[in-house]
Amino acid sequence: MMQQKKPSTQQLLQEIESLRREVEQLQREKADLQILLETATADTGAAVRQLYESNKQLQAEVAAAIALRHCESATQQAKLAEVQSLLAKAATEKADLEILLETTIAHADTVEQVLHSQNIRDPLTGLFNRRYMDQFLRRELRHAQRLCQPLGLILLDIDHFKRFNDTFGHLAGDAVLREMGRLLQAHQSSSDIACRYGGEELVLIVPATSLKETAARAEQVRQAVKLLNLEHYRQPLGGITISLGVACFPDHGQSSAALIRAADAALYRAKALGRDRLVTADSLKPL
């Protein structure tokens, strides 16, 4: 169904003028009828009654026509006011959108940085996530192969973390992981990255670092963790310890998967030996 075009204000004025002329014509016709009625008074009663009824009907039609035109005019005016209100609202919304667009463009770099950070960071610890760790490790291994450089990897796990959660609650456990994230970031150099590998397992990747130097870095982290004095809502959480497995390219793996397996095996041995210690992959021997 096609939408009827709303008449303009000029058209409404023209219609009112036309109506005024029609009323004048009807008034002239009414005057003529009145003269005819006076002239025909001497005629029969039937003729008089007929003229009277015709005049009465004509007056009713004029009144109805005028009322209809007034009603239509009021309706059109109401619709015009509604359209003007909608246009004003649309203009305001357009202005708001233009301001929002200008603000977004002005802060595009900041928005992009936030989105990128959300994609590669673990929200709890602030460390890089597992996905980014895999990409970084593969890239750094290719770089180490080209330059014939070593690359160290430290895999660490919080000792008895489940028992800790059961005692103090998962919110307290989250607080410990956040503190571990801050500690690892404080102990990484500009070329290192610290990641959350999964659960309470964390990873520190140290490019261009030998096995001996990587083990020394791991021991520094272990000692720093032992010095933590953690609280959660003013409740002392007691001391925590970590176990660490250390592996190094190229001696313990040529690929990222092989290197992680070697570090994981060393971590498992550290736990088996009593926890709160580090084990390097080259020292793995049957117990």
Point out the residues that are catalytic. Answer: 200
Other beta carbons less than 10 A from residue 5's beta carbon: 7
Classify 92 as helix, strand or coil: helix
Phi, psi torsion values for 247, nearest 5 degrees: -135, 160
Around 195, how many Cα atoms within 13 Å sit in the side-chain half-sphere? 23
Helix axes 170-186, 211-226, angle to 10 degrees: 130
Q: Whose CA is closest to 204, among 122, 189, 116?
A: 189
Residue where the block lists tokens 């929002």:
100
Classify 280 as helix, strand or coil: strand
The C-alpha atoms of residue 248 and residue 263 are separated, in whole angstroms, by 8
Spell out the residues 6+ positions from residue 70 whose beta carbon is closer than 8 angstroms to its own. none
